Amino acid sequence: MTRSVYVTGIGRGDGRQVIELGVMELLTRQVDRVGVFRPLAHPGPDPVFELLRGRYRLSQSREDARGMAYAEAAALQAEHGMDELVTALVERYHNVARDYEAVLVLGTDYADTQLPAELTLNARLANEFGSVVLPVVAGLDQSAESVVAEVRNAHHAFTSLGCEVIATIANRVRDSHAAAAARELGTHLPEPVYVLPEEPALSAPTVTQIAEALDAEVLLGDRTGLARDVRDFVIGGAMLPTFLTALREHSLVVTPGDRADLVVGALAAHSAGAPPIAGVLLTLGEHPGAETMALAARLAPGTPVLSVPGGTFHTAAELSGLEGKLTAATPRKAEIALGLFETHVDTAQLTERLSVVRSERVTPMMFEHELIERSRSGRRHVVLPEGTEERVLRAAEVLLRRNVCDLTLLGEEGAVRKRAADLGIDLRLHGAADAIDPAATATACVARVVDPQTSPLRERFAELYARLRAHKGVTYELAWDVVSDVSYFGTLMVQEGLADGMVSGAVHSTAATIRPAFEVIKTKPDAAIVSSVFFMCLADKVLVYGDCAVNPDPDAEQLADIAIQSATTAAQFGVEPRIAMLSYSTGTSGSGADVDKVRAATELVRRRRPDLLVEGPIQYDAAVEPSVAATKLPGSEVAGQATVLVFPDLNTGNNTYKAVQRSAGAIAVGPVLQGLRKPVNDLSRGALVQDIVNTVAITAIQAQRQTQQKVNP
C-alpha cells in the first residue's frame, strides 16, 4: 500500500516549502517512485511542484499532481458540503497514489482560499488518504511562550481529529530561547519536535525575483549576478562619501536614475570588494548616459542594474514586503534549504517514523543521497586547489550547507573572496590565519582559503618535496617554485595530514592532478598501479567501470590489479562486486593477443582473490543482459548480472563510459582514483557542480575508510 506524508500548517508564514523539500529528499532516498499531490491549488504555475519535479526528476505532470482549484472546492463545499468535497479529493488522490511507492501531499496554504475550517479539512483529508501528518508552525518573531503554545496547539489539533502525527516542526524561529523551549516540549509529547531557525538566505529575494515583482527593466547583469540574494536595501540620496559608508554586503542600492555618481561609486566599491553588493535599482525611469553605463559594465561585470518608472519612496515601500521563494529557478536556495533541514532535523529518526519500505532497486538519486549521508557520518577535510573556479565555489557552498566536510580552497585570498562575492556565494570563508571558534565548528563544516604563494607552509613543503625528489635532482630552490603550484600544494597538504583528501581537475588536466600524487603520496603496498573507476548510475542500478581514465594499455598483471582494486572500491560503496573481464569474445570463442591478455588476467584474479566472483573473457552484452548470458555462458554466476566491468584498455573504457553516459542518460560519477595511499581524485573538465559534490563526498568516504583500516587493520 502506498505510504503518504501530509505536510500541512496551521496558518500562513510558516515557510513549509523547506520542510516539503526536506521530506521529499528523505522519501527519494528510500524509494524509486515518489509522487506529489496537492489537493487544492491556486490557478497558474505551482513553484513548489516545479521545484520538486525538476530537482527529483519526476515524470509527473502538474495536472496529475493537482486535486482541484480552491474556487472549485469552495463552490462544491458551499453547495454540497464537506463530505462531497472530501469524496472528490480522495478519488483524485487514489488516482495518483496507485502509480507510486510513496506520495508527498502538500497541504493547503491558508492564503485567499475561501474555505472555512481549513485545518479541519486538512486533517480530514490526511485521514482519508491514509497519510501520516507532519504539521509545521511559524516561529518568526515569536516568543518562547508563543512557539511552545503553537507547537502544542498543532499537536492537539491534529491528534484530536484522529491524525497520526509523526513529528511537529517549528520553522523560522529566531529566538534561541524559543528554540530551546520548543525542543524541551518535544520531550513531553509522543512525537519529536524539530526546530529550524530563520535563514536569511532563504527569506532574501534574488535580484531576478525583485525584477519580476517590480516589472523592472534589466539594464545590466548576467545570469549569476541576477541570481544574487538581496539581504538589505540602501536608499541612495546622500553625497557619495556619506553614501559609501552606508553600503552593506548583499544590499540592493536604490537610487534615482540621475545619480550617476552613486551608481559608479556603488559599482566601484563592489569591484574593490568593499563591500560586494547585490546590484543597483534605478528609480524615476531615468537612465545614466551611455558613457556611464559603459563604465558601469567595466567596473563590475555581471552586476545587475535595474530600472523602474516609480519614485524612490514608492519603490522602497514595494520592496519592504518582498521575500525570497523556493523555485526551480533558484537551485542554490534549494541547497540552502536542504542544508538547514538536515542540520536541524534528525533525519534518521524521521525516516524511521515515515516507515517507508526501501526499494530493492538503486536509482542514481538514491546512490547520490547515500554518498552524502555516508560522507556526513564521519566528518573529513578535503582540499580543493581550484579555488576561483565558479563550479568549484558553487559545489563548495553545497558541501558546506549540507555539512558534508570541511574544505580548504587554494588561491589568492582576495581573488577567491571576490569571485565568490561576484557569484553571490556566501561561504563564510576563513583566512589562513583566522582563529575559528571551536563551538561554531562542532556542528557546522567550515572553509578556509589558503594562498600557496604566501602560506607559511610553503617552506615546510619545499623541504619535504626536495627530500622526496632528491633522487631526481630536485633542489630546495626548485622545490620552492614547484610547491607554489596549487596541485602540488594540495597534494602535500594531504600527505602531511593537513587535509584528508584532494579533488581537482575542473580546469586542470588529469596529468596535472595525479602527477603530484604519484610523486608524493605514491601507491599502496598492495597495489601494483594507480587506476580509476566510474560509478555509472543507470535507471535501476549502479555499475562500476574500470579503468577509463588512467592506464592506456595495461598488461595482464596490471589488468588483474585493476579488477581487484575495482571490486574493493565497489564493495566500499555498497555495490556487490561481480567482475566481468571484458573482451570482444566470450569464453573460449575467440583467440588472439588481446583475448589472451584478458584470459590471463582473469586467471590471475581467481588465484589472488578466490573469494571474488569473476568471469572473462566476456563481451559486454553477455556481462549485463541475462538473456544473452543464458545463451553464451549458461550457468555463470557473473554473466548477465555483472556489476564491475573491467575494460581491456583505456581506449575502449573511455569511449564506452561516454557512450553509455550520453546515450543511456546515465550519471557518471568519477573518475575515482584507487591504489593511492591517501585519496586524491580527478574531475572531468566538463564536470557539473553536482559531479564535484559527488566526487568530494566519495573522497571523504575513502578517507573515512582509510582511518577505519588504521584502527582495524
Q: Is the pLDDT confidence value at 435 over 60?
A: no
pLDDT at 364: 72
709 has a pLDDT exceeding 80: no
How confident is the model at residue 361, as a pLDDT?
63
Q: Are residues 138 and 24 in the same domain?
A: yes
* Secondary structure of residue 677 in the 3-state scheme: coil
- Which CATH number goes with the domain that contains 448? 3.40.50.10950
Is 186 contained in some domain? yes
Between 109 and 580, name the one with better pLDDT: 580
Rounded to an integer, what distance in angstroms lies between the CA atom of residue 620 and that of residue 647?
9
Same domain, residue pair 565 and 592: yes
* Position 593 pLDDT exceeds 60: yes
Q: How far is CA 697 from CA 382, 403, 516, 560, 569, in A?
A: 9, 11, 21, 27, 14
Q: Is residue 15's pLDDT more than 90?
A: no
* Domain end position, chosen among 199, 224, 241: 199
Q: Are residues 156 and 24 in the same domain?
A: yes
Average pLDDT over residues 448-471: 91
Place of cell 550617476: 260
- Checking if the pLDDT of 440 tops 70, the result is no
Model pLDDT, residue 538: 84
Strand 102-106 relative to strand 132-138, pairing: unpaired
Question: pLDDT class for 443, splitting at 50, 70, 90?
Answer: low
Q: Report pLDDT for 307.
A: 93
Q: What is the mean pLDDT of residues 237-260?
A: 89
**3-state SS, one letter per residue, for 345-359:** CCHHHHHHHHCCCCC
Residues 640 and 540 in one domain: yes
* pLDDT value at 135 more than 90: yes
Report the C-alpha gap between 50 and 700 in whole angstroms: 32
**Residue 37 has what pLDDT?**
95
Q: What digits encode the pLDDT tens for the residues 95-108?
A: 888 889 899 999 98
Same structural domain, 136 and 62? yes
What pLDDT score does 332 carry?
85
What kind and span of H or E run contains 461? helix 457-468
Q: Is the pLDDT of residue 713 over 70?
A: no
Regarding predicted confidence, which is higher, 483 or 185? 483
Is residue 574 very low, low, confident or very high in pLDDT (cuts 50, 70, 90)?
A: confident
Indicate whether 257 belongs to any domain.
yes
pLDDT of residue 433: 61
**Residues 54, 184: one domain?**
yes
164 shares its domain with 276: no
Alpha carbon of residue 611 to chain centroid:
37
Establish if 347 belongs to a structural domain: no
Q: Provide the CATH number for the domain around residue 259.
A: 3.40.1390.20
191 vs 221: CA distance, rounded Å: 48
pLDDT in tens, 263-274: 999 998 888 877
Cβ neighbours around 97 below 10 Å, total: 21
**Which of 162, 181, 199 is the last residue in one of the domains?**
199
The answer to whether residues 166 and 54 belong to one domain is yes
Q: Which range has the worst mean pLDDT, 109-123, 221-235, 325-339?
A: 109-123
Looking at the structure, tell me whether residues 703 and 633 fall in a common domain. no
In a domain, 356, yes or no: no
Residue 6 predicted with pLDDT over 60: yes
Whether pLDDT at 711 is above 60 = no
- Provide the grid cell at 350: 524521521
Give the C-alpha separation, 581 to 650, whole Å.
14
pLDDT at 434: 62
Residue 54: exposed, middle, or buried by beta-carbon count in 10 A (0-12, 13-18, 19+)? middle
Q: Residue 449: pLDDT band by 50, 70, 90 thresholds?
A: very high
**HEC readout, 426-442:** CCCCEECCCCCCHHHHC
Q: Nearest to residue 168, comparing CAs of 345, 370, 352?
A: 345
- Region 628-648 average pLDDT: 90
| Domain count for the chain | 4
Cis peptide before 241 (omega within 30 of 0): no
Q: State the pLDDT at residue 1.
A: 46
DSSP structure string for 181-232: HHHHHHTTSSS-EEEEE--HHHHSPBHHHHHHHHT-EEEE--HHHHT-B--E
pLDDT higher than threshold 70 for residue 253: yes
Residue 574 grid cell: 555498497
Of 44-48, 177-181, 374-378, where does mean pLDDT reach its minimum? 177-181
Question: Can you give the CATH number for the domain in which 551 is found?
Answer: 3.40.50.10750
The pLDDT of residue 610 is above 80: yes
Is the residue at 328 inside a domain? no
**What are the tens digits of pLDDT across the range 321-364?**
788 888 888 888 888 899 899 888 998 899 888 876 555 666 77
Q: Supply the range of the domain harboring residue 388.
A: 362-522+685-713
Q: Is 535 exposed, middle or buried (0-12, 13-18, 19+ CB in 10 A)?
A: buried
Note whether residue 371 is domain-resident.
Answer: yes
Please indicate, yes or no, whether residues 167 and 316 belong to a single structural domain of this protein.
no
Does 485 share its domain with 378?
yes
What's 25's domain CATH number? 3.40.50.300
Query: Domain boundary at 269, 303, 320, which?
Result: 320
Band of pLDDT at residue 527, cut at 50, 70 and 90: confident
Determine the residue type at 617.
P
Side-chain-side CA neighbours of residue 241 (13 Å): 0
In a domain, 343, yes or no: no
With CA atoms as reference, report the closest residue to 542 among 573, 498, 588: 573
| Average pLDDT in the chain | 87
Are 377 and 503 contained in the same domain?
yes
What are the Cα distances from residue 318, in Å, to 200, 243, 254, 310, 321?
19, 22, 12, 10, 6
Residue 314: which residues within 8 A CB-CB, separation 6 or more? none
Mean pLDDT of 588-601: 82
Entry pTM: 0.80
What sign has the CA pseudo-torsion 61, 62, 63, 66?
positive
Cis before 547 (ω within 30): yes
Residue 12 lies in a domain: yes
